[in-house]
Structure 1
Amino acid sequence: MSKELKLAAPGKELGGSLSNIETAKNYVVQRSLLRSVFIVVTCTAAMIVNVFNTTSVSISLPTIEKDLAIEEDKLQWLVSAYFLSSSCLLLYSGRLADLYGRKKAFMIGTLCQATFSLGCGFAQDGVTLAVLRGFQGLGGAATIPSSLGILAHAFPPSRARSIAFATFAAGAPVGSAFGMIIGGVLTELTSTRWRSIFYLATATSALIGVSGLISFDADVSSSELVKRVDWIGASLVTIGLVLIVFVLGQGENASDGWKTPYIIALLVVGVIMVALFLVWEWKLERIIDEDPSRATSMWTPPPLMRLSLWTRAKGRMTVIFVIAFLNWGAFSGWSFWVQLYYQNYLLLTAVESMVRFIPMLVVGCLCNFFVAMVVAKLPLVIIIVTGSLLMATATILFAVIDPSVTYWAFGFPSTVLIILGADIVYSSGTIFLARTSLPHEHSVAGALFQTMTQIGATFGLTVSTIVFSTVVDRESAKLGVNVNSSGTNAPMSAQLVGYKDAQWTSAAFALMGALLAVLFLRSVGIAGHQKVIRHFDSD
């Protein structure tokens, strides 16, 4: 029978490793439009819940602190525990999803999130809650890379793929806004207060799991001949990332700051572990490429992550990863300091602050249609530069804000631009990944992209925090005030300068992303689908 597919030129979409017939067989799946819609909605909902699990808890930390009598210096672990497990296990989870089935990985992830979210809702002390949060994060580590793989497999290069990835990308910033808004409302207005956040996450994760079970296509066996996991590489990269992310989050709060001995030691060990991982992966890839039969050996499994993945499209894959790192550093910095500006400087309540983030939800939902239209018409460099500059403009608006003027002059346009820019960069980046990576590594590529955004968010927040603290200390000293360790006695004028300079730092991250795109992505061309029709005959 004859089947017709819209595919890009031979060998470009999938790295040239598969024939066109094999590519067609991977993508030809008969399903209804409604089922396709549910696939996209389910994956997007998983992204929203993953981000919601972080921002909703962040906004409710003061209430949790009082209810469970948690010491202030340990409070951050309620957020960090989830982030550590969800971000540091992404690459490992993506590899397992590619090998043993993305649908299976997704279902396990949603079950994990639902189970431990419910446990968090019943926690009676801070230690228990932090431990459960760590296990809850395992669900996000499984669902996000598998979702990217599911979408890449379910939709061939076409307008449908552009819409699918743009919608999924909107889930990250929308989830951030949703978490801040709903988290604040539930914490203040429900009888169960902060526990309501976890009950909502439980119910939503369960529904997502049911939807995925019904709508997702059956798993397709990996095209790799040897289906084995590189446990040595997985251990090295996981331990290394855990240590690095821990240091980035804890360094500023340690007893002697970044000079604290254990902070320095853990950072060095973390960097060494990641370096060893890269050397090990390079060695495995080289051995197997020279002699594929050695992949059957216990000590030479297929690499967890082929380093050649970074060199795809003449090294532009690396540029995309770095741009994602920088832009998410800008986005996380903007989100964090805007919340503090509203609540600590303008002295707004949580609900009053969250109302100001509502435009993020609206724009985030509408943005995917815009991205789907332009990604097939404009070169990637224009899209990435535009998104990065929009994010830079959003942060600059808060860097020059006049607190005495209306929200509509600075706050509103900044909120609209930050979500628009973030969505454009994320969706176009994931579409480029799906085009460039091989079918059996879609989840690994997606996991790597997500890891870079997560670490970039932590790094951006760390750098902007250092800037804020330094500026507040300097400005306070000018006024003759010695700031305490928590900074609560700093003059309001000094805090305002700190907030502004922290936003200038975030702007620098976004501008560096735009500069990299201008320098290295000019010849990439259009990242979205290309209208090339090819025919395939199969029995």
Structure 2
Amino acid sequence: MTLSEAAVPPDAQISTLRKYTLLILFCLAQFLDVFNFAAIFVAIPAIANDLHIEDANTVWIVSAFQLTFASFLLVSGRISDIYDPKYCFVAGALILGVMSIGCGFVRVEVPLFVLRALGGIGASLTIPSAFGLIIRFFPEPNEQAIAIGAFGGSGAVGNALGVVFSALFVQFASWHWLFWFSALMAIPIAGICFLLIPSRPDDPTRAKASVQSLDIIGVSILTIALVLFIFALTSGSSVGWGTARVIAPLVISILMVVGFLFWETRVPEEYASLPPQMWRIPNFGVLFGISLTPYLWWTSTFLLITSQWQDEFLWSPIKSGIHFLPIGIPSVFLTVLAGYLTRHVKPKHLIIAGGILLITSTGLEPFSATDPTENRYWRFAFPAFILGTSGATLVYCGASVAMFLITPPKYAATVGAIFNAALQLGAAVGSAIISSIQSSITPGSNANSFTGRADGFWFLFAVVTFMTVSVAIFYRVGKTPVASAPDAAESSTEQKRSTEDTQA
């Protein structure tokens, strides 16, 4: 259990209508965060042509958002754990909305990149705070599993519908509406959540302690390291992996991560931005590793197939978007099913089942784009999309639920940040490596030929196979969740403090 029935916090006692209204709003925020990443793929040609962006720089239309989003997740998680996550979530949604308005009006590439980066920071504020609020409002394990599953599934829907909406905007209006649509959703979400989310009462002791426990030095070192690391990965496919622009930030980032780990051993555990004791929790490291795969599969599939459909098969954006619907629509139903399964199936078995589906799907994908006919699509791409999104959703739900079950409630936002950082890191690493494979292994000068794409899919096949086998070998079944055994006394104390500090 995440919380005992004897100590249900006041947050969980708000009306059912209010709780589920907030859950819908949190899911819409998650939808927007993923939408702002996935929808750009279809719109890149139109944006680049309108703003006269060179081919080598178009990667930053996507990467500017992804880089700051992934890099600031841990900072956001720390802030959400220490301060009231309500204001963190509202501020993040508001920043995303305002930056999206600006993106729709810019006419020069550099301001667009800057605004996209700032929007990524806003999006990063919403994820850990939403996780923390979901854990507070849904302490009962069964409800919590369903809520977390719905939250994750909304991201999968954003992945698919983002492509469709982007195609509609580009073909029938303009790419500017892609950003204005985000603003029209994000700003009302911020306002409604400001009114509906109950605030924690002011506590001078908490405020004083929170300033001391922010771990500014540790957070700064890690954030800069992640920025440099993701910058190197996203630059490699465009400027070359052997250039100083890639090697220098990559080496510096690794050294800074080592320095961060050393620093974390020097500060008190209660003040550490990445609590070392979390990594000693059984299965936490395994769950972090498997969390790299869901967004890796989704992003790689979009990256490898979208460009071929539009550039080689000359499909319209609308036709491409519609053919991607099998990736998103099943997630709506699968999240409900996954929420039910988490109550009856052990997380290890759920994750392995998802991994097997991903392996099967990725084995079909290399054969899905060799022919532009519908027969080839229905024979290979369609079943690959259904199986792959089913597997990715099961892995997502199983890993996220298991992570929260084995960690203390006081780390809810930090755990949410770590989990989502793994998702984004998988997407960043996968897109960079697969882009490099596609351009370097392809024979001759035709970078769009099928051979390079097939090699990218076979790399993805190897990754998901390795991850699934690792879970089967290293995930230890039967270990007592932290929140219910070793830290039972601590959890009880935290629950009592929560009852005092979190009045609705």
C-alpha contact (below 8 Å) 1:100/1:221 kept by paired residues: no
Q: Does structure 1 residue 203 correspond to structure 2 residue 172?
A: no
C-alpha contact (below 8 Å) 2:92/2:121 kept by paired residues: yes
Q: Does structure 1 residue 83 correspond to structure 2 residue 50?
A: no
Question: Which residue of the partner structure matches residue 365 of structure 1?
Answer: 332
Equivalent positions of 1:70-469 (< 5 A) are: 70-190=53-173, 193-219=174-200, 226-228=209-211, 229-254=214-239, 257-285=240-268, 302-312=271-281, 314=282, 316-401=283-368, 403=371, 405-469=375-439
Cα deviation, residue 414, structure 1: 1.4
Cα deviation, residue 200, structure 1: 0.3
1: distance between equivalents of 2:243 and 2:420? 30
1: distance between equivalents of 2:431 and 2:202? 40
Q: Which moved more, 1:96-105 or 1:507-516?
A: 507-516
Cα deviation, residue 446, structure 1: 0.6
Deviations 1:444-491 (A, max 9, x none): 111011111111111112222222223213xx3xxxxxx2xxxxx45x
Q: AA paired with 1:447?
A: A
Question: Which residue of the partner structure matches residue 505 of structure 1?
Answer: 459
Identity of aligned residues (%): 27
Deviations 1:181-219 (A, max 9, x none): 1011111111xx010011100011012213322332333
Cα deviation, residue 73, structure 1: 1.4
Change (3 A) 1:238 1:156: same
1: distance between equivalents of 2:74 and 2:408? 16
Structure with greater proportional helix content: 2
Change (3 A) 1:28 1:119: closer
Cα deviation, residue 392, structure 1: 2.0
1: distance between equivalents of 2:478 and 2:431? 31
Q: Which moved more, 1:29-38 or 1:500-509?
A: 29-38
Change (3 A) 1:221 1:141: farther
Q: AA paired with 1:180?
A: V
Cα deviation, residue 51, structure 1: 0.7
Change (3 A) 1:199 1:360: same
C-alpha contact (below 8 Å) 1:434/1:442 kept by paired residues: yes
Q: AA paired with 1:247?
A: A
Question: Which residue of the partner structure matches residue 480 of structure 1?
Answer: none
Q: Does structure 1 residue 496 correspond to structure 2 residue 496?
A: no
TM-score by length of 1: 0.84
Cα deviation, residue 371, structure 1: 0.5
Cα deviation, residue 341, structure 1: 2.8
Cα deviation, residue 525, structure 1: 7.4
C-alpha contact (below 8 Å) 1:327/1:510 kept by paired residues: no
Cα deviation, residue 124, structure 1: 1.6
Change (3 A) 1:362 1:525: farther
Question: Which residue of the partner structure matches residue 294 of structure 1?
Answer: none
C-alpha contact (below 8 Å) 1:380/1:524 kept by paired residues: no
C-alpha contact (below 8 Å) 1:94/1:146 kept by paired residues: yes
Cα deviation, residue 526, structure 1: 10
1: distance between equivalents of 2:78 and 2:341? 31
Number of residue pairs aligned between Structure 1 and Structure 2: 481
- For structure 2, the 5+ residue unaligned runs are 485-491
Structure 1 runs of 4+ aligned residues shifted over 6 Å read 220-225, 536-539
C-alpha contact (below 8 Å) 2:12/2:138 kept by paired residues: no
Choose 1 or 2 for highest CA Rg.
1
RMSD (Å) for aligned C-alpha atoms: 2.5
Question: Which residue of the partner structure matches residue 479 of structure 1?
Answer: none
TM-score by length of 2: 0.90
Q: Which moved more, 1:381-390 or 1:153-162?
A: 153-162
